Amino acid sequence: MNPGKILLVEDNPDDVALTLRALKSHNITNDVIVAQDGVQALDYLFGSGDKPASEDLPAVVLLDLKLPKVSGLEVLERIRNDDRTHLLPVVILTSSDEEQDLIRGYKLGANSYVRKPVDFVEFTQAAKQLGLYWLLMNRAPPAPRRP
């Protein structure tokens, strides 16, 4: 599959394990970087203090909304407001069924909004479809040039 990395921004360890298992069970073997909160996600993408940003942007960000420290919507807003990341594919992957979250996510520039299925089999199918589409079928924008 695509050599690009997946940035999974998820604070629930059970959902992280489930997502990783679902991806692996469908032969989606891309490296998955896990950020357990919004701050870790932003640090990975943009760096912080003495820690530089990651050299390569991920192929896709799977972003939960309900995160500690910095919410998923704030992470999305920061991604869209930075020239280096504003074209980065971001899929909101959340348990939220709130219409206001859906609307705000799209207004802030989410590429997709997927509600996490509760059932394991449905969840693995959703992960498979996300992986196949965003990593294999989707043509990502070119990486920004570094100064």
Reduced 3-state DSSP string for 78-112: HHHCCCCCCCCCEEEEECCCCHHHHHHHHHCCCCE
Whether 36 contacts 10, CB under 8 Å? yes
Question: For residue 143, what pLDDT is reported?
Answer: 67
Range of the domain at 104: 6-137
Number of domains making up the chain? 1
Listed as ranges, residues in the chain with pLDDT below 50 are 1-2
pTM metric for this prediction? 0.88
In this structure, the chain runs to a length of: 147
DSSP 23-75: HHHTT----EEEESSHHHHHHHHH-BTTBPPPSS--SEEEE-SS-SSS-HHHH
Question: For residue 124, what pLDDT is reported?
Answer: 77
Whether 58 contacts 91, CB under 8 Å? no
- Residue 52 in any domain: the answer is yes
Question: For residue 127, what pLDDT is reported?
Answer: 79
Question: For residue 27, what pLDDT is reported?
Answer: 80
| DSSP reduced 3-state for 135 | helix
Question: For residue 139, what pLDDT is reported?
Answer: 74
- Residue 68 in any domain: the answer is yes
- Residue 93 in any domain: the answer is yes
- Residue 146 in any domain: the answer is no
The domain that holds 93 is classified in CATH as 3.40.50.2300
